[in-house]
Structures are given as structure tokens and as C-alpha cells.
Amino acid sequence: MAGVRTRQRGELEAAVLAVLRRSDAPLSANEVRERLEGDTPAGTTVLTALDRLYEKGHVVRLQQSPRRVRFAAAQSEAESASAAMLLALEQNEDRRAVLLKFAGDLDQGDAELLRAALRPGKRERKP
């Protein structure tokens, strides 16, 4: 039914970005649409979400011809999360308090992973 919202605000953009991050190659809007879970939105709705993500810098456009465009995530999920954490640090006057709160909220496994990453010469390699 036209005009009836089936997702919360921002939910479609998050779902589209998740589809792009799971893909090994850039996707067309139709391919993104086919891989979305739940109610399938109209192709124009997916294109609108892709355009908004592009404007926000979350998606890159690969134009193969005037009518053939593919999309890819600009950053991996890990890169995006890291950028968000760094931004939070930059926007807070008390970086020490933010870091201590963050580190204090980590579970034992994550804390050990962070300790290992901070040890000189003991950097964990990517899987």
C-alpha cells in the first residue's frame, strides 16, 4: 500500500548498508533490493536510500554507463565503528574519562584483545 511505512526511520538505510558490507563486489540497486530481508521495498525506494547514503559518504558509486551504476560500502563495519569512536573522543573535552568509561565497560575478552593490540610488537594480525 503506497504511503504506509513498514520500517522505522533509518532502518532501510541501515539494511542497505549491511547488504553492501556483506557483498564481495559492488551491487546494482536491484541486486541490493533482492538481498534485503523482510518486506521488499520498491526499486525507487532503494535508489533513494542509496542516494542518501552516498550523500552522507557511506556509499561509493561506480558508474559503468549512464544507466548502469553499482554501489559499494565506503567503509567496512569495523572502520565505521572505529571512526565513530574517534569522533566521540574528538567531541568530548575529557578524553580520559571517555576512554576509561569505554575500557571499563569492556568484557574480559575484549579488554584482553585491546591490551594485546596496545603491546609494542604484539599486534594481532587480521584473520
Boundary of a domain, candidates 73, 88, 107:
73
Look over the chain and give the mean of its residue pLDDT values, rounded to a whole number: 88
Q: How far apart are CA 98 and CA 72, in angstroms?
A: 32
Does residue 124 register a pLDDT over 80? no
pLDDT at 17: 95
Q: For the chain, how many structural domains are there in total? A: 2
Residues 63 and 97 in one domain: no
For residue 15, what pLDDT is reported? 95
In this predicted structure, the answer to whether residue 104 has a pLDDT above a threshold of 60 is yes
Summarize pLDDT for 33-91 with one digit per residue, the tens: 999 998 889 999 999 999 999 999 999 999 888 889 999 999 998 998 898 889 989 99
Q: Is residue 49 exposed (0-12), middle (13-18) or buried (19+ Cβ within 10 Å)?
A: buried
Q: Are residues 59 and 22 in the same domain?
A: yes
Write down how long the chain is. 127
The closest alpha carbon to 20, from 77, 63, 64, belongs to 77
Look up the pTM and report it: 0.69
Beta bridge partners of 73: 59
The two counts, helices (H) then strands (E), for the chain are 6, 2
The domain of 102 spans 77-118
